[in-house]
Structure formats: structure tokens, C-alpha cells
Chain A
Amino acid sequence: MSTSTVTEPPEVTTGGRIATVLRLTGVDARVRMSVPWLILGAIFLVNVAIWWAVRASSDDGGQGTTGALTALFFIIGSTYLVTMTQTMPFALSLGITRRHFYAGVVVRLAGETLVHAVALTALLLLERATDGWGLRMGFFSLGFVPPLNPLLQVLCFWVPLLSIGTLFLLFGAVFRRWGQYGVWALAVAGVLAAGLAVFWVTWQSAWPAVGRFFTGTPVPVLLAVHPLVLAAVAVAVGYLVVRRARV
């Protein structure tokens, strides 16, 4: 009879376990990363057709933005909800701890959204170089964002994508810990908090100050710094929630 398969416990390090989670969550990365682009591709083709028709019938010559890109941010973010609701129970069955799984997913989210951000920047540059795909159509530009250098532009795509992703992870963590009721409670709490904020700003007659904040803050700061704070808070809270999750 041969000896036992494993007599010595394997060397277990935090880095090693996070790398394991990165490999585990990598098996379906291609599906996860390509689906939002397939959807965006379809939206893009529809937009091109409509804009072509608009330009053909009544060419007013003006530049326009479709606004379709915002959808991509939420489609990409939502794919990370599934990693918490579906992949996490599977990973825990394979002996992964909660904290290593969560840390690995956050790292993967950061990496994958960076890839998306680089791709979006490249397409934005292409869009600008082709005068809006020959139709003066702004598909990959957000109306309020002025032209930025490519590096800053990548950041301005990446950080919002990352932040939305971490919010979806937080919702997923709440689902894992408290189930559907927890998610509803979080949604209701979010609505109440937003309502309270609006009430307070109105009561204090502070709307002009809020307006000044948004117009006075440089766009790169609004897109790449403030959401980063939000992401950090979401990751920290998500970690506290997921530590005692049951699967």
C-alpha cells in the first residue's frame, strides 16, 4: 500500500490563498468579462443605425452623446454580485475561508475593471479620432467629462467601475449573511439615508452649496477620488458583513 496522499499540511499563506481564489474566480472570467461587452456591442450597433438614420434625414451637424455607457457600468458591476451569491458557497465547500475569498474577489474586481477601463479609453480615443464613428456620435464619452490625458481617462473609467463593483459585492455579502431580507433592508436603508440627506440639505437651504461642490470640483477628482473613498468604505463594510456569513 502506498503512503498517505498528504501527510504534511501544505504551506498556507495569505498570499497563496488569495492567489488560489484568483485562479478559482478566473475559470469563468472570460464569460464574466465578455457578456457586458456583447450587450454593449448590441447597444452600439443599434445606436449607430439610429444615428445614421438621423444624420441621413436631418443632419443638424451637432455633436451628441448617447448616454448608453452608464448601463455598462452597472452591467459590469452586477456580474460581481454573482461571485458572492453563487461562487462563494462553492468556494467555501472547497475549503476557502471567507476573508480569503472576499479579498481575492476584490483583487479580481480591481484587475478586471482596470482591463475594462483601458478598453473603454482605447475606444474613446478611437471615437475621437474618427469624429464619432463618422456620425459625430459620442458613445464612449460621458457628456460632462472634458478630454483628459489617456492615463487620467483610464482612472476616470476605472474608479467608478470599481466603486459600483464594490457596492454590488457589499449587496452580495449582505445576501450571504442575512439572505433576501437583508438585501431589502439594505435597499430600504439606502433610500431612507438618501431621503434624509435631501431633507437635510433642503432644510439647511444648502442646495447652492451642493451645486458649487459639483461644479467647483474638477471632474477627475469627482470621478477618480471621491468614488475611491466610497469603494474603500464598501469593501471594509462588506468584509465585516461577510466574516460571519453562512452558506
Chain B
Amino acid sequence: MSRNVIAMHGVTKRYGDVTALDGVTFALEENRIHGLLGRNGAGKTTAMQILTAQNFATAGTAEIFGERPYENARVLARTCFIRESLRYPDNYRVDHALRAAASVYPHWDAAFAEDLLGEFGLPRKRSCKKLSRGQQSAVGVVIGLASRAPLTFFDEPYLGLDAVARQLFYDRLLADYAEHPRTVVLSTHLIDEVSDLIEHVVLIDAGRVLIDAEAEDLRGRAVTVTGPVEAVERFARGHSELHREQLGGFLRLTLSGAVPSSSDGDLRFEPVSLQQLVVRTTQRNAAIRTDEGALS
């Protein structure tokens, strides 16, 4: 039976006038790969910081493994949080960072770390200060994977990594996850790249949860329909419109919850990728917020 490893109940975080998280509620199941998606500044990092007690909620509660994380070694000892902004002490070499992580995690896999080091081409004696942005990210990826922490957060861990290195990360994550199931929370805006990897999606925008659903369900949730304006409008009736593009007499709509129809030969249907769905949902939310702002 699955159980929730993460639970946020109405978590709000304010920095002065800025509301980073606004009544966020979601739960993440054990031993799955979850995608925490959203634009830069949407509140993804803040949510993960609150879950690991690196930051404090203004209101609401956050739990991991069923307990409050603040100064709670019993649950924090089972986490690893690879942040995009993770820096290593100035006097650390790459092997210092790995040895430090190895000293913390009881299930650290030194051989795996060694393999990854080679695959990412990381010089183990190089000072962490002298690493390129991509190499710094790679050190984080190695630590996050080899730690085998039961709850691992990757917060945009790929900064500066090229496409090949990113693919290497996804491949190794998936392979290791299959052998050693654990809960992984992957925050990213490179949605297309991870859409096959993530099993569950939480989309945050402007501090609010817009989507909290199975990735599989989302893939069939929206459809793009193109055709003559009238035919498309007719088809779109009763469906929620996510996006609209019009060129002359042709209209292209992205619709939520619509099922392609074969009866109208003038219409062309295309599936909507997870990335498109996320982009369109976020854009629609931004438009709604603008409208709300204008009304208030």
C-alpha cells in the first residue's frame, strides 16, 4: 500500500508584501518520481525549503514521513536536497564533497558515485571553487543519486549541464530508481525532457497549485484542434479553452477535457504534450489573475 511521504496543508509563505506560497496543499506518495513544475519564481524552491525545514512557513503545516521536519533529525536524516544554488565550502575539492556526503548517508553507494564521477567527467581532485557551473551541478547530481536517500529533492539540478549530461542524469536516475525505489521530487522547467520520467505532476504558479495529477492522466487531458473558425468554435462549445490562435479564417484552440471527434473532416486534432499543457495552463492562470487584478 502506498503512503504519503510529503504532505503540505494550506502552506503560505510571505516575504514582506510578496506571497511566495499561497495556501498550498498537496501530498506526494512514497517511492515515486514526482515532478514539481512551474515558472521561475513560482514557489517551487520555497516549497522544498519548507519541506526540508530550511525555511519556515508563515501559515499552514508541512510534513515529511508524517512528521514536522523542523529540527527533526528522525525524518531529515532520510532526506537529501540538491538545490540549484548549492555551493560547496571554498576549501573543498570534489572528493571532499563526496566524502562528506558519504559520511552522512548510511546507504551511500561509493561504487555508483565513482561511476557517475567518470561519466560526468568530474576531476575528483579539482577544487569545487574552480568547477564550471555544469560541473558544480554534476557534483550535486552525483551526491543526490549516490546518497540513496529515501526522499531526494532535485531543485533544477541541471544548470549548466549540456543536453547529453542531462540525459545521462535522467537515465541514471531512472535506472537507479528502478533498482532502489525511493521518493524523488524533481523540480524543473525543462518539462519535455522529464515527461517520460515523472509519474505525478504538481504545477505551481504564483504560489498556488494549478495541477496536482498523475502524469498519465494529464497526457490525455488536453487536445489541440485546428480548422475553419466556425467548425472549431462549434467543437469547442462546452470545453474549457486553454489557448487560442487565429490566422485568417483558421482557428487553433487548445482545449481541456476534449476528446477528438472523427465526424468533422475539417478539423485536425493533435495531442498536447505535458509541456504544452503546463505552458497553456500557466498562461491561462496568468490571464485570469490579470482579469482579477483589473476587477479588484
Our verdict on whether A and B bind, yes or no, reads yes
Give min CB distance, B267 to chain A, whole Å. 44
Residues of B within 8 Å of A55, CB to CB, are none
Flag whether B26 is at the interface (Cβ < 8 A). Answer: no
Flag whether B259 is at the interface (Cβ < 8 A). Answer: no
In chain A, what residue has the closest Cβ to B140? A93
Instruction: Tell me the bound Cα distance from A122 to B92 in angstroms.
Output: 30
Of A6, A9, A17, A91, the residue contacting B148 (CB under 8 A) is A6
Instruction: Tell me the bound Cα distance from A5 to B100 in angstroms.
Output: 20
**Interface residues of B, dominant DSSP:** loop
| Contacting pair A31 B91 (CB below 8 A) | yes
Flag whether A244 is at the interface (Cβ < 8 A). Answer: yes
Residues of B within 8 Å of A28, CB to CB, are 89, 91-92, 96
Q: A5-B150, A5-B181, A6-B150 are in contact. Are A95 and B56 (CB under 8 A)?
A: no
| Contacting pair B103 A246 (CB below 8 A) | no
Residues of B within 8 Å of A93, CB to CB, are 52, 54, 80-83, 86
Interface residues in A81-125 (C-beta closer than 8 Å to B): 82-83, 86-87, 89-100
Flag whether A45 is at the interface (Cβ < 8 A). Answer: no
Flag whether B19 is at the interface (Cβ < 8 A). Answer: no
Give min CB distance, A218 to chain B, whole Å. 39
| Contacting pair A94 B147 (CB below 8 A) | yes
0/1 per residue, B58-96, Cβ < 8 Å to A? 000000010000011111111111110011111110001
Interface residues in A2-32 (C-beta closer than 8 Å to B): 2, 4-6, 9-10, 12, 14, 17, 20, 23-24, 26-28, 31-32
| Contacting pair A82 B90 (CB below 8 A) | yes
| Contacting pair A5 B54 (CB below 8 A) | no
0/1 per residue, B39-68, Cβ < 8 Å to A? 000000000010011111000000001000
Instruction: Tell me the bound Cα distance from A198 to B79 in angstroms.
Output: 50
In chain B, what residue has the closest Cβ to A99? B71
Residues of A within 8 Å of B179, CB to CB, are 1-2
| Contacting pair B100 A94 (CB below 8 A) | yes
Flag whether A226 is at the interface (Cβ < 8 A). Answer: no
Residues of A within 8 Å of B96, CB to CB, are 27-28
Flag whether B221 is at the interface (Cβ < 8 A). Answer: no
Flag whether A201 is at the interface (Cβ < 8 A). Answer: no
We find that the number of chain A residues with CB closer than 8 angstroms to chain B is 38
Give min CB distance, A83 to chain B, whole Å. 8
Residues of B within 8 Å of A95, CB to CB, are 52, 76-81, 104, 149
| Contacting pair A247 B89 (CB below 8 A) | no
Give min CB distance, A50 to chain B, whole Å. 31
Give min CB distance, A101 to chain B, whole Å. 10
| Contacting pair A17 B77 (CB below 8 A) | yes
B interface residues, Cβ below 8 angstroms from A = 31, 49, 52-56, 65, 71-83, 86-92, 96-97, 99-101, 103-107, 143, 147-150, 178-182
A interface residues, Cβ below 8 angstroms from B = 1-2, 4-6, 9-10, 12, 14, 17, 20, 23-24, 26-28, 31-32, 82-83, 86-87, 89-100, 243-244, 246-247
29 residue pairs bridging A and B, Cβ less than 8 Å apart: A1-B181, A4-B180, A4-B181, A4-B182, A5-B148, A5-B181, A9-B65, A9-B74, A9-B75, A9-B77, A10-B78, A12-B73, A24-B103, A28-B96, A31-B91, A90-B100, A92-B81, A93-B80, A93-B82, A94-B81, A94-B147, A95-B104, A96-B73, A96-B76, A97-B73, A97-B76, A99-B71, A246-B56, A247-B54
